């Protein structure tokens, strides 16, 4: 019997998470997009059918357990019940527990009734969003996984999503170091007084009592507005249109008592004062498969009064969403594609110890390996 070499590195939870961590709540879809007409969404490698019955949203495996036909093609033949019927042979399933309650093409006395069961997924509807639990066991309380500030009654949430090519883990570990070069030509920040790098960068773990959760956060001693690179010269150059001072790269003023920028499980990044001052930007990287993920962005605004809310609604629609959530954040997505293609070309690659900002990537890997619910190694 051949022995496994002792030098072989053991695969970690982060290594295994090519299609994500399942024992968490994820934002699934805007609640108002789900009607009685079934809709298919792939979450963490699993095709899921979402539909409503009697005003309640349900999620069930998209595969009919008889012959694997997509239940998102199914019909709502029995109005008033919580059922969905497969379009192929008429296998009909109770959406509350996935049990087969009828087989239309085999008659009312079909012996197949009760023999098959489709997997269902817990859903919760909060703040205009449907949240789904992807784990196999009993779900934790929703508040354990969702930032608390998002769930406040007075908070106004704005949703944007798109499908991105690349493995989700590259996007999740890339928040440090890229800002001055990746976004230097972003029209959304054209007037920004740019900087060269963070000073004495490192990371820290923060347990946020306001927003909840354990976060891997950035820590540094301010920014170097310009730097002289040996044999090359000074960078970045000063431009007359770059005059606006910003908190980017510096200390962020607290919002409701919390201010750090960082990431938490299962791949949720938080950015303060973005996409507008006084707001929080949250983004999830939700795997579809190993090569694609849903990039879900939720902006949390905290209007002070009716006039302030009207301004938020206007500015978000005409500038913030298209230019900051859209064009600006799309620049990050392009980096994920490059890193994924590089892995396909030359194999697995990772952070570099000599490059200080890569401490964020290393820190996220450690956070995953140390805290991934139900998947950590002893």
pLDDT the model gives residue 249: 44
- Give, in order, the Cα–Cα distances in Å from 347 to each of 13, 14, 54, 341, 344: 19, 16, 50, 9, 6
Model pTM?
A: 0.93
pLDDT the model gives residue 136: 86
CA distance 108 to 130: 35
The domains found in the chain, sorted by start residue, are 25-126 (2.102.10.10), 145-371 (3.90.380.10)
Q: Which residues of the chain have pLDDT under 70?
A: 1-8, 244-251, 376-378
- The dihedrals phi and psi of 315, each to the nearest 5 degrees, come to -70, -35
CA distance 68 to 288: 19
Give pLDDT tens digits for 211-263.
999 999 999 888 888 999 999 999 999 888 877 665 444 457 899 999 999 99
pLDDT the model gives residue 356: 95
- The dihedrals phi and psi of 316, each to the nearest 5 degrees, come to -60, -45
Are residues 48 and 59 in contact, defined by beta-carbon separation less than 8 angstroms? yes
Contacts of 297 (CB under 8 A, 6+ apart): 159, 160, 161, 281, 282, 283, 325, 329
Q: Give how far the C-alpha of residue 115 lies from the chain's centroid of Cα atoms, to the nearest Å.
A: 37
CA distance 217 to 175: 10
CA distance 132 to 130: 7
**Structure tokens given for 79:** 């109005």
- Give, in order, the Cα–Cα distances in Å from 148 to each of 22, 127, 156: 21, 12, 13
DSSP 227-285: EEETTTEEESPP-TT--B--STTSPPPPBTTB---EEETTTEEEEET-SSTT-EEEEEE
Contacts of 74 (CB under 8 A, 6+ apart): 38, 49, 64, 84, 85, 86, 87
pLDDT the model gives residue 367: 97
CA distance 298 to 231: 43
pLDDT the model gives residue 329: 87
The number of CA neighbours under 13 Å toward the Cβ of 44 is: 21
- Give, in order, the Cα–Cα distances in Å from 107 to each of 90, 215, 251: 10, 55, 69
CA distance 78 to 119: 20
- The dihedrals phi and psi of 370, each to the nearest 5 degrees, come to -90, -30
Paired residues of 255 in beta bridges: 258
pLDDT the model gives residue 189: 81
CA distance 92 to 79: 13
């Amino acid at each position: 019997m051949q022995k496994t070499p002792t030098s072989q590195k053991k695969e970690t939870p982060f290594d295994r998470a090519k299609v994500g961590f399942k024992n968490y709540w994820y934002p699934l879809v805007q609640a108002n997009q789900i009607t009685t007409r079934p809709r298919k969404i792939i979450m963490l490698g699993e095709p899921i059918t979402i539909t409503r019955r009697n005003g309640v949203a349900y999620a069930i495996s998209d595969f009919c357990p008889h012959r694997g036909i997509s239940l998102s093609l199914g019909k709502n033949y029995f109005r008033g019940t919580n059922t969905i019927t497969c379009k192929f042979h008429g296998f009909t399933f109770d959406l509350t527990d996935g049990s087969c309650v009828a087989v239309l093409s085999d008659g009312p006395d079909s012996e197949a009734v009760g023999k098959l069961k489709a997997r269902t997924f817990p859903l919760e509807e909060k703040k205009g969003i449907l949240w789904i639990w992807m784990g196999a066991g009993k779900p934790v309380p929703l508040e354990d996984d969702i930032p608390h500030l998002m769930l406040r009654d007075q908070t106004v949430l704005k949703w944007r999503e798109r499908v991105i090519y690349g493995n989700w883990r590259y996007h999740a570990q890339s928040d440090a170091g890229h800002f001055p070069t990746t976004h230097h030509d972003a029209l959304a920040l054209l007037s920004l007084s740019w900087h060269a790098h963070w000073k004495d960068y490192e990371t820290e773990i923060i347990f946020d009592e306001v927003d909840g959760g354990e976060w891997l956060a950035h820590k540094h001693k301010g920014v170097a507005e310009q730097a002289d690179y040996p044999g090359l010269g000074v960078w970045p150059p000063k431009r007359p249109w770059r005059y606006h001072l910003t908190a980017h790269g510096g200390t962020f003023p607290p919002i409701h008592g919390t201010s750090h920028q960082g990431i938490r499980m299962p791949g949720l990044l938080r950015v303060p004062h973005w996409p507008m001052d006084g707001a929080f930007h949250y983004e999830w990287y939700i795997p579809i498969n190993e090569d694609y993920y849903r990039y879900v962005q939720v902006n949390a605004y905290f209007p002070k009064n009716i006039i302030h809310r009207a301004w938020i609604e206007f500015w978000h629609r005409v500038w913030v969403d298209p230019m900051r959530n859209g064009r600006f954040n799309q620049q990050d997505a392009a980096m994920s594609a490059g890193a994924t293609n590089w892995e396909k070309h030359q194999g697995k690659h990772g952070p570099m110890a000599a490059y200080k900002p890569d401490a964020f990537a290393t820190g996220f890997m450690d956070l995953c390996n140390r805290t991934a619910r139900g998947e950590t190694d002893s």
